[in-house]
Amino acid sequence: MLTADRLIAISLMALSLYFMWHATVLPIGWNGMTGGPGGGAFPFWLSAIMLACSGLILLRTFLPDARASFTMDSTMLRPLLAVVIALVVTIALIPIAGAYVALPLFLLWYLRIFGGHGWTLTLSLSLVTPVVTFLFFEAALKILLPKGITEPLFLPLYAIFF
Amino acid sequence: MDVLALLADGFATSLSPLNLMIVIIGVTAGLFIGAMPGLGSVNGVAIVLPLTFIVPPSSAIILLAAIYYGAMYGGAISSILLGIPGASTAVATTFDGRPMAQQGKAGLALIAAAVASFVGGTISIVLFTLFAAPLANVALAFGPAEEFALVLLAFTTFVGLGGDDKLKTIVMICLGLVLSTVGLDLISGQPRLIFGDIPGFYAGISFLVLAIGVYGVGEVLYTIETSKTAPQVTPARITWRELGNGLREMNRLWKAMSIGSFLGFFVGMLPAAGATPASLMAYGIARQTSKNPKSFGKGNIEGVAAPETANNAASTGSLLPMLTLGIPGSPTTALLLGGMVMWGLVPGPMLFIEEPDFVWGLISSLYTANFAAVAINIALIPIFVWALRMPFTVLCAIVLVLCIVGGFAPSQKMHDVWLIAGFGVAGYLLRKADYPLAPLVLALVLGPLMEKSFRQTLIAEQGNVLAFVERPLSGSFIAIALLFFALPLIKSLRRTGSRGVAPAE
């Protein structure tokens, strides 16, 4: 799929340009006062090299003997997209509904619907994971995970562990 | 001898009950991580790093080193039992390990792999112990100019010696370096590349966020795509008699194992090379020098021993430049370096002077880890056979949850979790299009050092760029770096030249 190769090269070029544009906030040239380049020079010129190299990669895909490096089994596109969407939904849900709702829901979806596993495995993993997470991060490490609207439910647990 | 006294002190640290327990836990975890197809040492270290806050910094590094070490042993297990390398470092082990398993000699292959790993590990740790202090002494003379030249050299090894596409390698190095400049400018203190004032970017992009993204989420996506059907596990049982036979068999493998150990150690030190090419090279040389090279690929035990010694030796070798010079020899050691900086232990020659307890504790823990790994590896083989039946959907789900929680824990910002997801998808796509990810991670870790040393030198020398070439050490580093950079050009010129003369080959 040469198209995918080209799209990736074009995205990298666009990213380099975006970086270069942001890097110009600080001086990108030689700073005569202190000696040496300004604060924006490093990101700016490295992005410029990146732009040039990804440009060459793009040009190379138009050569007559160009071969695609990006190959994909198209039947796997759907499961991949499903996992990415589930991941995004889970992360978005964490600050709202709390990690202890979002993560078990994710496991429930992944194991039962995506993986097609039995209820015993699904439920035991979905229940054990939050408990272990709580004991490890909150009780032992004192790192509080976001709880969103479920925060009040944890107050009695805090009273026990802190 | 001085080294022996320091090492003895180190053992006092590493044999403390806490650290001994940590080595055992780390090695066991590493064995499982290595054995799971799709997860290698770098994935294991990236995912486990945030969990190591639970122990003191020096023990955390010992834990990560033990995981690194265990994963090198573990990779062979799935290479032999599934025919799929458990980690890229164990690719060469499948060549003869899988045929052996199919001939019903899985137990023997597993024992050979474990013992070979032990031999490779032990020889390389002895080399490590001998080289560490002298190398650190040389590095004491390094100023910012030498530091810059050395980082440059590390990157050019990817271009000159790495097997990947040159242009794509350069793009990845630059991308990593640019990502490392996000946040506050080191010299002026002004914010830069904060992408329209997004507060999360003021603190910069942590190496851990990129590593969990690329090696955690990205790896899971890659595994989902490539693992349509569950592989077949070859059963393996180990009896005492088999163990005895295996050990006797090892006696005639000394040549293969010594090739692997020395080659692995020195190849492992190079940033662009590392354990995977080291094990492939060791396999190749063992075949060439073998009495019956034709039996390679058909279940020759030498073909298991050579790559397994090499990948363990390489993993120790890659720790050497990381610890003494502050320049990691592999993506996994880049993560170890990042972790050490996070805990306030800055690798480099000064570490040997300021934190000798830690340094020698870590080195001696490699000895204990090696003993623990070989024993646990052989003892737990039945459990590995069982664990390898675990479906990918269970493994991937657990890894994704660990990525989210582990990504959140260090900074406690959702911003980082979003970045992990983004890097995961981007890393997966880049990997699909053959962009190498190791230079990206290495560049992000080394970027701040590279920029700081470059600008410090120029400030100290009033903007005189020639300062980098005038100093003998940094000058020679830069000369070698230029050579590495020119190497692919020369090669391609010669290739087109010879193509003109003799087109048929």
Q: CA-CA distance, B217 to B255, in Å (whole number)?
A: 41
Indicate the DSSP class of residue B181.
T
Map residue B192 onto helix, strand or coil.
strand
Q: Which of A122, A105, A104, A8 is nearest to B171 (CA)?
A: A8
Angle (nearest 5°) at CA B442 between B438 and B443: 115
Mutate which of A16, A24, A30, A42 to test chain B, going by most B C-beta atoms within 10 A?
A42
Kindly indicate the confidence band of residue B108, based on its pLDDT and cuts at 50, 70 and 90: confident
Q: CA-CA distance, B417 to B406, in Å (whole number)?
A: 9
Q: What kind and span of H or E run contains B106?
A: helix B106-140
Q: Amino acid identity, residue B108? A: L
Number of domains forming the structure of chain B? 1
C-alpha B3, offset from chain centre: 26
pLDDT of residue B231: 63
Residue B499 located in a structural domain = no
Q: Å from B275 to nearest chain A CA?
A: 24
- Window from B94-103, B165-174, B393-402, B490-499 with minimum mean pLDDT: B490-499
Closest chain B residue by Cα to residue A134: B405
Residue A1 CA: distances (Å) to CA of A53, A71, B168, B171, B195: 20, 6, 17, 20, 32
Kindly indicate the confidence band of residue B500, based on its pLDDT and cuts at 50, 70 and 90: very low
Q: Å from A101 to nearest chain B CA?
A: 12
Digit-coded pLDDT (tens) for B180-209: 988 888 777 778 877 777 777 888 888 889
Contact between B329 and B320 (Cβ < 8 Å): yes
Q: CA-CA distance, B31 to B376, in Å (whole number)?
A: 9
The yes-or-no verdict on residue B498 having pLDDT over 60 is: no
Closest chain A residue by Cα to residue B465: A36
pLDDT of residue B26: 92
| Cβ–Cβ below 8 Å for A137 and B405 | yes
Digit-coded pLDDT (tens) for B427-485: 999 999 989 888 898 899 888 888 888 888 888 887 777 888 888 888 888 888 888 88
Q: CA-CA distance, B13 to B207, in Å (whole number)?
A: 29
Map residue B228 onto helix, strand or coil.
coil
Q: CA-CA distance, B104 to B118, in Å (whole number)?
A: 23
Contact between A96 and B422 (Cβ < 8 Å): no
B219: tokens are 């790896």
| Cβ–Cβ below 8 Å for B167 and A60 | yes
Residue B495 located in a structural domain = no
Contact between B278 and B311 (Cβ < 8 Å): yes
Residue B379 located in a structural domain = yes
Indicate the DSSP class of residue A37.
B
Q: Which residue has the tokens 């493998």?
A: B253
Q: Å from B58 to nearest chain A CA?
A: 17
Q: Which residue has the tokens 């496991």?
A: A107
Q: CA-CA distance, A102 to A95, in Å (whole number)?
A: 9
User: B389: Cβ–Cβ under 8 A, 6 or more apart, which residues?
Assistant: B233
Residue B497 located in a structural domain = no
Residue B403 dihedral angles phi and psi, to the nearest 5°: -65, -45
The residue ranges of chain A whose pLDDT is under 50 are: none
Q: What is the mean pLDDT of residues B324-351?
A: 86
Domain range enclosing B383? 2-489
Digit-coded pLDDT (tens) for B346-402: 888 888 888 888 888 898 999 999 999 999 998 888 888 888 888 888 888 998 998
- Window from A9-13, B43-47, B66-70, B289-293 with minimum mean pLDDT: B289-293
Q: Which of B218, B211, B400 is nearest to A102 (CA)?
A: B400
Residue B504 located in a structural domain = no
pLDDT of residue B504: 33
| Cβ–Cβ below 8 Å for A23 and B194 | no
Q: CA-CA distance, B338 to A68, in Å (whole number)?
A: 35
Contact between B100 and B311 (Cβ < 8 Å): no
Longest distance between any two alpha carbons in chain B, whole Å: 72
Residue B189 located in a structural domain = yes
pLDDT of residue B497: 53
Q: Which of A27, A92, A110, A11 is nearest to B224 (CA)?
A: A110
Residue B373 located in a structural domain = yes
Q: What is the mean pLDDT of residues B151-176?
A: 87
Q: Amino acid identity, residue B301? A: I
User: B71: Cβ–Cβ under 8 A, 6 or more apart, which residues?
Assistant: B30, B31, B33, B34, B39, B40, B41, B44, B87
Digit-coded pLDDT (tens) for B201-237: 888 888 889 989 998 999 889 888 877 666 667 777 7
What's the complex ipTM?
0.92
